[in-house]
Amino acid sequence: MSLALSSDQGIIIAKRSISLSKTFVIIGIFLACLSVLIANVPHLAGNSIPSTIPINGTEGINPIQSISYIAVPLQVFAALLFSTPVLLLYVYDKNNGVLEYFLSLGKDQSDIYREYLKSALILASVILIFEVALNGIVGLLERTSAFVLVTVPVLVVIIALPVVTFTTLAMMAFSSLQKQRVGSNQPLGLAIGVFAVLPAYIAPLVVPSATVILDSILAAVVVGLSIVLFFLSSRLISREKFLP
Amino acid sequence: MHTLELAGVDSGYGGKPILRDVTLKVDQNTIYVVLGPNGAGKTTLFRTIAGILEPYAGSVLFDGQDLIHSKEIRQKINYLSHYNAIPEEMTVYNALNFYAKIEGGSASEVVSLLKLEELKDKKVSDLSQGQKKRVSIAKVFLRDRDLYLLDEPTSNLDPEVSKEIRDLLLHISKDRIVLYSSHNLYEANDVGTNLILIKNGRIGYYGRISDLKSKEYQVGIKATSDVSKVIDAKLGEQGYYILRVSSPEEAGLALRKLVEAGVLVTEMRQLDNPLQELFENSGKSM
């Protein structure tokens, strides 16, 4: 019988993560709902918001579109929050000796961290599906412009998945630098995620007309970083790092 | 018959070796007691054999095959760590089933084997340390393995459960190799046939415990009358008459003399342990 983690192991880890830390899940859902409203409410406000605010003789910013695109990093952050329990579970399992036991069963470090990564992506996908569906429903109800209705969810998905990947891998690779017990390590993970999507907060305000392009570039950069980190992970995450 | 061979193994943490030049060949189906003071390298030895730590130098072979880089060979080993390694948010049964899904075996069977029926629906986090240890041991028996590495398996267990575990290990050691670390010298003396003593990360002694037992040791006797009139024993501490013998047979002969003399012996026990001296000296440099 193969001892490779079974195909549903990612789902088991995801379920364990949620049962261990519901707070992040609740906050993630709340932020997802809030950010969907932020993406669509400007369209509801309609004529009460000026279509352009000129700044120092430049083209100015379109506040409706800018606010809509600020919702992109917020929705990404919601996905990051929603997947954070996996990082907590990883540290918890490490401190409890579960990861050491997995190694003793004949698994390699890559078998293990890939399952935790898969779980983080499963959780992120769950909230992203929820966000996309909610964006669609609210957008249609609020008569949001078709361009925003399509680009916001697409940008959220293409940024969120690599950000969650990058953050999860980085946390596993460098979690041994943090000796605190479970619950004390998430700020670094979240900070990495916030830092990764920082340009997405700034772009709608500074260069609103190029927001979609800049967000797409950001997604490509984070995808690149995630791929590099993924292939370096076997070196960065040694077996020793799984010990309590 | 299985064989575990370590040749010139250096292993440790963060690039700093704890084990140095460890060479060892284990080739009998029996219990090998691994003894040594805290920090000597017992856990590092177990982690290295289990393939959890990759040695900086040397090789670890099981049945002649490289253990560290072969998942297949590593799956022939089971390792019980100091840490319980049980997901505490689960019930006992679900936690064992969690591992059964990964490595095979039946949670129900190990619940029965370790007599965990009363605990199986309780959350692991609600158990005492001793109960958690029992659950942790149970997971080791989910599947049959050829080599068992047990790092202080009876710590936190009450004497009755400890004895049950030792009996279980004695049973499985008939056709498997068991490496068993312990701080309890009496337990080590009882359970093991061979001794691996770790001194400062090196093998300090490796051989049969019975070879150590040939040295003189003390037997304490309590009786309803003065036994020194019958055998060459002197009254010592705690009401014991101290008899120095060099073998169990010699102790038996002394007991026979007492019985024949009509002395009612209420207690007779070994007061010191042949491993004691070895253990006390193991902290000192060789």
pLDDT confidence of residue A42: 64
Residue A231 has pLDDT above 90, yes or no: no
Q: Output the six-digit token pair for B109.
A: 């069977």
The amino acid present at B130, given as its one-letter code, is G
pLDDT confidence of residue A164: 92
Q: Under an 8 A CB cutoff, do A9 and B88 touch?
A: no
pLDDT confidence of residue B286: 34
Asked if residue A1 is part of any domain, the answer here is no
Domain B217-282 annotated CATH 2.60.40:
no
User: Structural domain tally of chain A?
Assistant: 1
pLDDT confidence of residue B275: 66
Q: Output the six-digit token pair for A115.
A: 């399952």
Residue B8 has pLDDT above 70, yes or no: yes
pLDDT interval class at A234 (50, 70, 90): confident
Q: A3 or A242: whose pLDDT is higher?
A: A242
The rounded distance, in Å, linking the Cα atoms of A13 and A19 is: 10
Measure CB to CB from residue B53 to each of A3, A107, A239 and give the nearest one.
A239
Please give the residue of chain B at the shortest CA–CA distance from A99: B85
Orientation angle between helical segments A211-236 and A146-174, nearest 10 degrees: 20
Which tens digit of pLDDT belongs to each residue from A183-227? 455 556 677 777 778 888 888 777 777 888 888 898 899 899 889
- Helix, coil or strand: residue B5: strand
Measure CB to CB from residue A96 to each of B85, B104, B139 and give the nearest one.
B85
Residue A55 has pLDDT above 80, yes or no: no
List CB contacts of B267: < 8 A, sequence separation 6 or more. Answer: B220, B221, B222
Strand partners, B91: B123
Mean pLDDT of A50-72: 66
- Helix, coil or strand: residue B220: strand
Residue A52 has pLDDT above 60, yes or no: no
List residues in chain A touching B: CB distance below 8 A: 1, 3, 5-6, 9, 12, 16, 19-20, 93, 96-98, 100-108, 238-240, 242-244
Which tens digit of pLDDT belongs to each residue from B51-94? 999 999 999 999 999 988 888 888 899 999 989 999 998 999 99
Q: Under an 8 A CB cutoff, do B87 and A93 touch?
A: yes
Distance from CA of A158 to the nearest CA of B (A): 33
List CB contacts of B17: < 8 A, sequence separation 6 or more. Answer: B10, B11, B56, B201
The rounded distance, in Å, linking the Cα atoms of B140 and B146 is: 12
Which tens digit of pLDDT belongs to each residue from B87-136? 998 999 999 999 998 888 899 999 999 999 999 999 999 999 999 999 99
- Helix, coil or strand: residue A149: helix
Expressed as residue numbers, the domain containing A146 is 9-242
Q: A100 or A91: whose pLDDT is higher?
A: A100
Asked if residue A3 is part of any domain, the answer here is no
Contacts of B89 in chain A (CB under 8 A): 16, 19-20
pLDDT interval class at B139 (50, 70, 90): very high
Q: A57 or B252: whose pLDDT is higher?
A: B252
Contacts of B75 in chain A (CB under 8 A): 3, 105-106
Residue ranges covered by each domain of chain B? 4-212, 217-282
Asked if residue A53 is part of any domain, the answer here is yes
> Quick one: what percent of chain A has pLDDT higher than 70?
81
Which tens digit of pLDDT belongs to each residue from B156-189? 888 888 888 888 999 999 889 999 998 777 777 7
Q: Under an 8 A CB cutoff, do B79 and A97 touch?
A: no
Measure CB to CB from residue B87 to each of A98, A104, A107 and give the nearest one.
A98
Lowest mean pLDDT among A67-76, A119-128, B44-53: A67-76
Q: Which of B78, B81, B129 to mutate to test the interface with A (most CBs of A within 10 A)?
A: B81
ipTM for this model: 0.80
Torsion of CA B178, B282, B158, B32, to 10 degrees: 10
The rounded distance, in Å, linking the Cα atoms of B74 and B62 is: 9
Mean pLDDT of A86-93: 89
Residue B38 has pLDDT above 70, yes or no: yes
CATH (one of 3.40.50.300, 3.20.20.70, 3.40.50.2300, 3.60.21.10) for B4-212 = 3.40.50.300
pLDDT confidence of residue B215: 65
**Helix %, strand %, coil % of chain A (to 5):** 80, 0, 15
The rounded distance, in Å, linking the Cα atoms of A230 and A236 is: 10
Length of chain A equals 244
pLDDT confidence of residue B179: 94
Same-fold call for B4-212 versus B217-282: no
User: Which among B10, B5, B4 is positioned nearest to B202, based on CA atoms?
Assistant: B10
Measure the N-to-C terminal CA separation of chain A; round to a whole number of Å. 28
Distance of CA B21 to the CA centre of its chain: 23
CB of A189 within 8 A of CB of A84?
yes
User: Which among A137, A166, A131, A121 is positioned nearest to A31, based on CA atoms?
Assistant: A131
Residue A3 has pLDDT above 90, yes or no: no
CB of B65 within 8 A of CB of B133?
no
Contacts of B88 in chain A (CB under 8 A): 96
pLDDT confidence of residue A188: 67
pLDDT interval class at B210 (50, 70, 90): confident
Q: B210 or A157: whose pLDDT is higher?
A: A157
Distance from CA of A232 to the nearest CA of B (A): 18
Q: Under an 8 A CB cutoff, do B52 and A6 touch?
A: no
pLDDT interval class at B250 (50, 70, 90): confident
Asked if residue A59 is part of any domain, the answer here is yes
Which tens digit of pLDDT belongs to each residue from A160-174? 999 999 988 888 887
Contacts of A239 in chain B (CB under 8 A): 52-54
- In sequence order, which ranges of chain B are alpha helices (DSSP H)? 42-49, 71-74, 92-103, 107-113, 129-140, 159-172, 185-191, 209-212, 248-260, 274-282
Please give the residue of chain B at the shortest CA–CA distance from A107: B71
Instruction: Give the predicted TM-score (pTM) of the model.
Output: 0.81
* CB crowding B157-189: b at 16 or more within 10 Å, else e: beeebbebbbeebbebbeebbbbbbbebbebbb
**What is the DSSP pairing of strand B202-208 with strand B194-199?**
antiparallel
Distance from CA of A4 to the nearest CA of B (A): 8
Strand partners, B80: B150
List residues in chain B touching A: CB distance below 8 A: 13-14, 47, 50-54, 71-72, 74-75, 77-79, 81-90, 98-99, 101-104, 139, 149
Mean pLDDT of A36-57: 64
The rounded distance, in Å, linking the Cα atoms of B138 and B131 is: 11
Mean pLDDT of all residues belonging to chain A? 81
Asked if residue A4 is part of any domain, the answer here is no
